[in-house]
């Protein structure tokens, strides 16, 4: 999709196939509506007065050939009361317009949406590519009959404020980069496990490194992981025929190349059967999404390279597969992690934290400014926050606050949950330092408590995306969350 901003105060002079304009409820209308009304001999005002065109939020009216319109189509979208027009209303307007334009197979448009509220223009410009991408995305690589590509190819946005146009153009560019990053994340996350294994993640990481010369990519296989004593990570993958591979992507954008980096760690369980503690068969197909944390890291690092941020960032994709086999790790086993902490295995389906704990120890070598891990870690997070909010926990209140604020800015909602000593009691072991599962009560928090034992040397936050990384049912598929939140967090650090 091509997006451009045109500095103009007139919409009828534009030559695009379709003009998209917004109407409000009530008698007051924008100058652009008045301009179109005048050029159509009062037709627009007549249709508004008759109720055929409504200012109701998200209501659309599509007009084909109109007088003096040079055979242009007009899409009229209701935006509600002008005084109540906020970013949430803007999102509904965008969604309604894109759906209608896609249905009508329009190829290019000129749109007035940036003119509705100058204070929101930058934010609207940033959200537009993301919403458009979401509504036009399809994953049909394995279908015999491919989805038809949307006809809509070009969106021209009117904007006449010369003082702020550079800012709005910058926000639009950021929005495009974020949209592309989310698409890349979804494409990887939607891959079936017989294609997407740890080697596939490593190859995708290496391809990203070849595409962007400002990225350095290193892949560590089982031999290298063993030399590092990453025994918990390796134990999880022991039952799989596919090798466990950790992919490290480094970006050095700060003037001081040795400046402390922001580190992202993504859980990359390309399939999670539960191991010996095998999962029920219902819904097990969705366990290909247990690598959405790693897919998120991929998308964010792609965006970081595109944005050329003036900070240092390290992204780690912890690729692995949890399968039952004669060589699988078992309930009752005791593992010695890279940090030296011993773990009693209560449940082999609590595997993600075992992979992450060794990676969280590994990233100490980068002397990180902050570390954020992203993981589809616990079904308990869905019970707590549904499919609406990503759970945020950590050992630094300021970092947690920053992430929640970034989530609100990005429209990618997150909510913080507590970690304290009461929950830590639940992961005590009688025969090792800790257990890998603390029971049903507070399961999301006790999982974070487990990870916290390996993050005492830096500021750390944990994002549990089990409820937000993918959708089930008829619309099954990856969502690309929380890519937007993390990119916003990194943008706020530059």
Residue ranges and CATH numbers for the domains of the chain are: 2-180 (3.40.220.10), 193-492 (3.40.630.10)
Structure confidence at residue 65 (pLDDT) = 62
What pLDDT digit, counting tens, does each position of 129-149 carry? 999 999 999 999 999 988 888
What pLDDT digit, counting tens, does each position of 145-166 carry? 888 888 999 999 999 888 899 9
User: Span 279-302, mean pLDDT?
Assistant: 97
Q: What whole-number percentage of the chain has pLDDT above 90? A: 86
Model confidence at 8: pLDDT above 90: no
Structure confidence at residue 28 (pLDDT) = 85
What pLDDT digit, counting tens, does each position of 207-216 carry? 999 999 999 9
Model confidence at 72: pLDDT above 90: no
Model confidence at 68: pLDDT above 70: no
Active site residue 353: yes
Residue 267 marked in a binding site: yes
Structure confidence at residue 150 (pLDDT) = 85
Name the pLDDT band for 178 (thresholds 50, 70, 90). Answer: very high
Structure confidence at residue 82 (pLDDT) = 82
Model confidence at 335: pLDDT above 90: yes
Model confidence at 174: pLDDT above 80: yes
Instruction: Pick the catalytic residue from 238, 260, 279, 413.
Output: 279
Structure confidence at residue 494 (pLDDT) = 72
Q: What whole-number percentage of the chain has pLDDT above 70? A: 99
Model confidence at 69: pLDDT above 60: no
From 9-13, 230-234, 481-485, the region with the lowest mean pLDDT: 9-13
Instruction: Pick the catalytic residue from 126, 353, 453, 481.
Output: 353
Model confidence at 473: pLDDT above 80: yes
Structure confidence at residue 67 (pLDDT) = 55
Model confidence at 5: pLDDT above 90: yes
Model confidence at 350: pLDDT above 90: yes
Residue 290 marked in a binding site: yes
Name the pLDDT band for 320 (thresholds 50, 70, 90). Answer: very high
Structure confidence at residue 162 (pLDDT) = 87
Q: 351, 434 in Cβ contact below 8 A? A: no
What pLDDT digit, counting tens, does each position of 383-425 carry? 999 999 999 999 999 999 999 999 999 999 999 999 988 899 9
Model confidence at 280: pLDDT above 60: yes
Compute the mean pLDDT over every residue in the chain, rounded to the nearest whole number. 95
């Amino acid at each position: 999709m091509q997006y451009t901003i045109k500095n103009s105060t007139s919409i009828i002079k534009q030559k695009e196939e379709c003009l998209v304009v917004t109407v409000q409820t009530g008698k007051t209308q924008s100058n652009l509506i008045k301009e179109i009304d005048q050029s159509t001999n009062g037709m627009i005002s007549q249709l508004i007065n008759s109720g055929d065109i409504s200012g109701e939020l998200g209501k659309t009216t599509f007009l084909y050939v109109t007088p003096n319109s040079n055979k242009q189509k007009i899409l009229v979208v209701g935006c509600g009361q002008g005084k109540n027009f906020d970013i949430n209303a803007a999102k509904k307007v965008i969604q309604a317009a894109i759906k209608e334009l896609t249905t009508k197979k329009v190829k290019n448009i000129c749109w007035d949406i940036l003119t509705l509220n100058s204070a929101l223009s930058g934010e609207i410009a940033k959200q537009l590519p993301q919403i458009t991408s979401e509504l036009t995305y399809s994953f049909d690589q394995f279908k015999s009959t491919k989805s038809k590509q949307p006809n809509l190819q070009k969106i021209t946005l009117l904007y006449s404020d010369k003082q702020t146009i550079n800012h709005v153009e910058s926000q639009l560019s950021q929005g495009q980069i974020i949209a592309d990053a989310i698409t890349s994340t979804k494409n990887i996350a939607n891959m079936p496990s017989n294609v997407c294994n740890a080697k596939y993640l490593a190859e995708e990481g290496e391809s990203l490194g070849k595409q962007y010369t400002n990225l350095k990519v290193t892949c560590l296989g089982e031999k290298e992981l063993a030399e590092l004593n990453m025994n918990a990570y390796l134990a999880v993958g022991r039952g799989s025929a596919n090798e466990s591979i950790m992919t490290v992507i480094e970006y050095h954008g700060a003037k001081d190349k040795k400046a402390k980096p922001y580190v992202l760690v993504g859980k990359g369980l390309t399939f999670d059967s539960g191991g010996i503690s095998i999962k029920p068969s219902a819904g097990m197909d969705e366990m290909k999404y247990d690598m959405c944390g790693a897919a998120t890291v991929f998308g964010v690092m792609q965006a970081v390279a595109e944005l050329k941020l003036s900070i240092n960032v390290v992204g780690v994709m912890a690729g692995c597969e949890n399968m039952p086999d004669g060589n699988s790790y078992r309930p009752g086993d005791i593992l010695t992690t890279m940090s030296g902490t011993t773990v009693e295995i209560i449940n082999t389906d609590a595997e993600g934290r075992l992979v992450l704990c060794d990676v969280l120890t590994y990233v100490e070598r980068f002397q990180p400014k902050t570390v954020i891990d992203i993981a589809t870690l616990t079904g308990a997070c869905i019970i707590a926050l549904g499919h609406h909010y990503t759970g945020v926990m950590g050992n630094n209140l300021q970092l947690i606050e920053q992430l929640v604020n970034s989530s609100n800015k990005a429209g990618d909602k997150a909510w913080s949950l507590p970690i304290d000593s009461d929950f830590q009691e639940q992961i005590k072991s009688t025969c090792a330092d800790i257990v890998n599962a603390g029971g049903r009560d507070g399961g999301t928090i006790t999982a974070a408590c487990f990870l916290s034992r390996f993050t005492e040397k830096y500021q750390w936050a944990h994002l549990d995306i089990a409820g937000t990384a993918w959708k089930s049912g008829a619309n099954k598929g990856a969502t690309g969350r929380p890519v937007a939140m993390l990119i916003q967090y990194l943008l706020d650090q530059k």
